[in-house]
């Protein structure tokens, strides 16, 4: 027989739901041009207020897109306001929309707390969002994994992070929904799932929280990278790649319960790591700091934009240390385009280069009518919004 929640537990969840509902908004948007990895079109999604004073809403990058965006949000009291992009991450699946807080009437704005450290296997969660276009939908589940490699989609694909996994049965329109616990704080961001299955994928909130703090402090969100795609590999696979017993002991003693290590999966040609790293290199340390998770990796890169970092990897059982310059991701993220007839021209982005294993240079050409046809045929896409 299934466990019946106690009265106090049910009341706690009800308080959490009532609190979160006031933060959640439905998003209606239009992307008039196909740009980078995203297609033109209209859609619905979800977001939630993370800074009531500044009017900031957290949602997915694949909702905002990398190009022109027009959108509006609808609050719980059915008030509609225009929004515009404040920030969209060059790699990870999150971004911030901005609205005018003074225009909100008849309700008190509150912001949702971001608590990335509270997501653990077995955590009971709920998701409130615009599921299948039905605003205010409430879904439930349990986090089953916190170390999943990012899913691969037909268009935009996140990388150099891990995702959480749960079975909450979210569908289209849920993208950008807050994943929250019984205390009503966000522990993850709904990002995608599998069609015809109940599996959902959540983005950890470490990167969104770091970016939010930089925006709140009035600074620019600095993002760095070395043009290498890393993935998590089980330790037994790393042993086959040449992980030494000595290095394995250091990892296991430092992080008991560690099951995976960060391994280079793809090195882009002509990038900072070209000729220095290879696919299959096991990442050991950066600037002397042991790397056991993606958050440590991204933090080091973001804090050393334009600087040289010392990267220690193990290849075929041998330690190899390389000095690599961290590139500013804004340099390989296009911010404008040129349109002739129904054809779009813009610089090749890191996203496109990563997908096709190209150098981050040259011009990307997209025929608008082809993009429209692709949108009609993209029924297998796995993003939930």
Q: Look up 330 and say whether it is catalytic.
A: no
Q: 156: Cβ–Cβ under 8 A, 6 or more apart, which residues?
A: 36, 37, 38, 61, 62, 93, 351, 383
User: Residue 376 CB: number of other CB atoms within 10 A?
Assistant: 9
Domain 20-217+346-385: assigned CATH number: 2.40.10.120
Walk along the chain (385 residues) and give the pLDDT tens digit of each residue. 445 566 788 899 999 999 999 999 999 999 988 888 888 889 999 999 999 999 999 999 999 999 999 999 999 999 999 999 999 999 999 999 999 999 999 899 999 999 999 999 999 999 998 877 778 889 999 999 999 999 888 788 999 999 999 988 777 778 999 999 999 999 999 998 777 777 899 999 999 999 999 999 998 999 999 999 999 999 999 999 999 999 999 999 999 989 999 999 999 999 999 999 999 999 999 999 999 999 999 999 999 999 999 999 999 999 999 999 999 999 999 888 888 887 889 899 999 999 889 999 999 888 765 444 444 433 333 566 5
Q: How buried is residue 126: exposed, middle or buried, by Cβ count under 10 Å (0-12/13-18/19+)?
A: buried
Q: Show the tokens assigned to 282.
A: 């096991």
CATH topology of domain 227-325: Pdz3 Domain (2.30.42)
Q: Residue 368 has what pLDDT?
A: 67
Among residues 115, 129, 175, 123, the alpha carbon closest in space to that of 146 is found at 123
Going from N- to C-terminal start, the domains of the chain cover 20-217+346-385, 227-325
**Active-site option among 174, 175, 177, 384:** 174
Q: Residue 374 has what pLDDT?
A: 45
* CA Rg value for the chain: 21
Measure the CA–CA gap between 286 and 291, rounded to whole angstroms: 7
Q: 92: Cβ–Cβ under 8 A, 6 or more apart, which residues?
A: 61, 158, 160, 161, 203, 207, 208
Q: Do 20-217+346-385 and 227-325 show the same overall fold?
A: no
User: Which residues face 78 on adjacent strands?
Assistant: none
Q: Look up 108 and say whether it is catalytic.
A: no
**Active-site option among 93, 158, 206, 260:** 93
Q: Look up 265 and say whether it is catalytic.
A: no
Angstrom CA distances, 83 to 30, 39, 49, 291, stand at 11, 20, 12, 38
HSE of 188 in the Cβ direction (CA atoms, 13 Å)? 30
Q: Residue 317 has what pLDDT?
A: 92
**Active-site option among 26, 36, 51, 62:** 62
């Amino acid at each position: 027989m299934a466990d019946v929640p106690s009265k106090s537990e049910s009341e706690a969840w009800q308080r959490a739901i009532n609190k979160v509902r006031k933060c959640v908004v439905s998003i209606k948007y239009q992307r008039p041009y196909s740009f980078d990895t995203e297609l033109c079109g209209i859609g619905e999604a979800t977001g939630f207020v993370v800074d009531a004073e500044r009017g900031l809403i957290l949602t997915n990058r694949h909702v905002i897109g990398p190009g022109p965006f027009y959108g509006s949000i609808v609050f719980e009291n059915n008030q509609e306001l225009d929004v515009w992009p404040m920030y969209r991450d060059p790699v990870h699946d999150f971004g911030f929309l901005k609205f005018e807080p003074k225009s909100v009437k008849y309700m008190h704005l509150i912001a949702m707390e971001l608590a990335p450290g509270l997501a653990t296997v077995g955590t009971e969660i709920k998701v409130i969002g615009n599921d299948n276009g039905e605003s205010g939908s409430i879904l439930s589940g349990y986090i089953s994994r916190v170390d999943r490699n990012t899913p691969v989609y037909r268009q935009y694909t996140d990388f150099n992070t891990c995702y959480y996994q749960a079975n909450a049965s979210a569908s289209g329109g849920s993208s950008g929904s807050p994943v929250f616990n019984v205390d009503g704080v966000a522990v993850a961001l709904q990002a995608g799932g599998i069609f015809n299955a109940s599996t959902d994928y959540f983005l950890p909130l470490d990167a969104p929280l770091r970016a939010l703090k930089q925006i709140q402090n009035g600074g620019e969100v600095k993002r760095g990278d070395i043009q290498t795609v890393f993935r998590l590999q089980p330790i037994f696979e790393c042993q086959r790649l040449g992980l030494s017993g000595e290095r394995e002991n250091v990892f296991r003693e430092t992080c008991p319960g560690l099951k995976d290590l960060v391994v280079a999966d793809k090195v882009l040609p002509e990038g900072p790591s070209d000729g220095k790293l290879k696919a299959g290199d096991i990442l050991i340390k950066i600037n002397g700091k042991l790397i056991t998770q993606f958050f440590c990796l991204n933090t080091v890169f973001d804090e050393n934009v334009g600087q040289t970092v010392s990267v220690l990897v193990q290849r075929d059982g041998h330690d190899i240390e390389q000095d690599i310059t961290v590139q500013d991701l804004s340099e390989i993220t296009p911010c404008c385009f040129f349109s002739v007839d129904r054809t779009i021209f813009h610089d090749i982005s890191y996203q496109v280069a990563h997908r096709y294993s190209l150098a981050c240079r040259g011009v990307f050409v997209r025929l608008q009518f082809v993009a429209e046809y692709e949108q009609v045929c993209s029924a297998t896409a796995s993003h939930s919004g």
